[in-house]
Amino acid sequence: MSIRHRIFPRFVPGIAGLVLALSAAAQGPATDSGERRGPPPEALAACEGKSAGAACSFSGPRGDRPQGTCFAPEGKPLACRPAQAPDR
């Protein structure tokens, strides 16, 4: 048996596994309902009953409490936008 016939079968499963793992990683994390878009529920709740521009704060995902203002892009719900939020 040649070297090619002994080595090739050993590497094919490893290479296939690597390709599969890399393609799964490139897709990013998945959730039950797909990728979350928009503000977190806490930011939406922080502006319930308020108007655009009102001061707000909410419990952030890292245990912080961002301060901001209620903001709603056209066609989107009113949510608390932290003062240090990036422009989108």
77 lies in some domain? yes
pLDDT lower than 50: segments of the chain: 28
Which 3 state secondary structure label does DSSP give 1? coil
Tell me the per-residue pLDDT of 31-40, one tens digit each, with 9 for 90 and over: 555 566 788 8
21 lies in some domain? yes
The predicted structure's pLDDT at residue 42: 94
- CA dist 77 and 29 (Å) reads 25
The predicted structure's pLDDT at residue 16: 60
Q: Is the pTM of this model over 0.75?
A: no
55 lies in some domain? yes
65 lies in some domain? yes
53 lies in some domain? yes
7 lies in some domain? yes
49 lies in some domain? yes
Per residue, the 3-state secondary structure of 30-60, as one string, reads CCCCCCCCCCCHHHHHCCCCCCCCCEEECCC
30 lies in some domain? no
What domain range is 76 assigned to?
3-25+40-82
The predicted structure's pLDDT at residue 53: 96
How far from 43 is each of 7, 21, 28, 73, CA to CA, in Å?
A: 56, 34, 24, 14
The predicted structure's pLDDT at residue 50: 96
The predicted structure's pLDDT at residue 79: 96
The predicted structure's pLDDT at residue 81: 93
For the chain, the domain total comes to 1
